[in-house]
């Protein structure tokens, strides 16, 4: 995974700058997440509630026109994910429910297509690949051992970028592959997928179109 992240970082900050000298931007972004799990099987783990988290990282815009309307926008983000898991168990006295947070962490690499309208508002969509770097515990077990090492998602978003590079971005991401590791019997084949919203602020450092 370290080699993959190194190649991505080099491509973003060195190769991109040389290939798109006049229409290449890079910058920083950070913000909050609201995430949960989607599941096709809730027979054991009854429900999943959203939890708050955060993300931070670097981004690029490769604009294909001098007016900065259409771009390909790769990013490298540290992103938290997960949910509050409500587990129901039946007994002689009825059903008891226990709740605990299952916290995940990923190095996330989205590669979005972006269209910016005159005035600075934009729409974006594209695929994302995430590498699991979780270090938390859940029910006395390592979260990383209970979950798959990577995740594939699709994202949709909208935002605004000012003429000087400052902006705000709202995005929804949905996992297309399962989070839980089917080789571990603890999960009882719940088939979890990540789902969540991200609200970020950002600053593109240079090559801003101020016309």
SS (H, E, C) 29-48: EEEEEEEEEEECCCCCEEEE
Domain count, the chain: 1
| pLDDT of 21 over the 50 cut | no
The mean of the pLDDT values for the chain is: 84
Cβ contact 186:5 at 8 Å: no
Answer whether residue 172 is part of any domain: yes
Please report whether residue 186 resides in a domain: yes
Determine the distance from the C-alpha atom of residue 3 to the mean position of all C-alpha atoms in its chain, rounded to a whole number: 20
Residue 74 lies in a domain: yes
Examine residue 209 and state whether it is found in any structural domain, yes or no: no
Range(s) of the domain holding residue 33: 2-204
Confirm whether 85 is domain-assigned. yes
Can you tell me whether residue 186 is helix, strand or coil?
helix
Count of CB atoms situated within 10 Å of the CB of 93 = 6
| pLDDT given at position 165 | 92
pLDDT value at residue 15:
47
Give pLDDT, residue 129: 97
pLDDT digits (tens, 9 = 90+) for 169-208: 999 999 999 998 866 555 566 788 999 999 999 999 877 7
CATH number, residue 176: 2.40.160.20
Residue 17: the pLDDT is 47
Mean pLDDT within 116-121: 94
For residue 210, being part of any structural domain is answered with no
Can you tell me the distance from the alpha carbon of 197 to that of 36, in angstroms, rounded to the nearest whole number? 9
Residue 191 has a pLDDT of 82
Tell me the two tokens of residue 133. Answer: 């770097």
CA 110 vs CA 32, 136, 156: distances in Å? 17, 24, 11
Top-confidence residue, 102 or 34: 34
User: For 12-26, 41-55, 61-75, which range has the lowest pLDDT when averaged over its residues?
Assistant: 12-26
| Spatial separation of the C-alpha atoms in residues 132 and 144, rounded to whole Å | 7
pLDDT for 140 equals: 75
Question: Are 112 and 126 in contact, with CB atoms under 8 Å apart?
Answer: yes
Asked, for residue 75, whether it belongs to a domain, the answer is yes
On whether residue 211 sits in a domain, the answer given is: no
**E strands in the chain:** 24-39, 45-49, 51-63, 70-91, 94-116, 121-132, 137-138, 141-142, 150-161, 166-175, 192-204
């Amino acid at each position: 995974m370290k080699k993959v992240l190194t190649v991505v970082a080099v491509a973003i900050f060195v190769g991109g700058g040389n290939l798109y000298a006049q229409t290449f931007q890079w910058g920083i972004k950070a913000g909050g997440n609201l995430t949960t799990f989607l599941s096709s099987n809730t027979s054991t783990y009854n429900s999943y509630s959203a939890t708050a988290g955060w993300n931070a990282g670097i981004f690029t815009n490769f604009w294909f026109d001098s007016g900065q309307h259409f771009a390909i926008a790769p990013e490298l983000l540290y992103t938290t994910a997960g949910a509050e898991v409500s587990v129901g168990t039946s007994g002689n006295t009825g059903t008891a429910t226990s709740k605990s947070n299952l916290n995940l962490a990923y190095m996330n690499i989205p590669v979005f297509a972006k269209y910016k309208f005159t005035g600075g508002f934009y729409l974006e969509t594209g695929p994302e690949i995430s590498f699991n770097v979780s270090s938390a515990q859940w029910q006395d077990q390592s979260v990383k051992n209970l979950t798959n090492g990577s995740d594939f998602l699709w994202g949709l978003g909208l935002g605004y970028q000012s003429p000087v590079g400052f902006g705000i971005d709202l995005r929804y991401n949905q996992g297309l592959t399962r989070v839980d590791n089917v080789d571990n019997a603890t999960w009882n084949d719940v088939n979890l997928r990540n789902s969540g919203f991200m609200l970020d602020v950002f600053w593109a450092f240079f090559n801003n179109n101020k016309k």
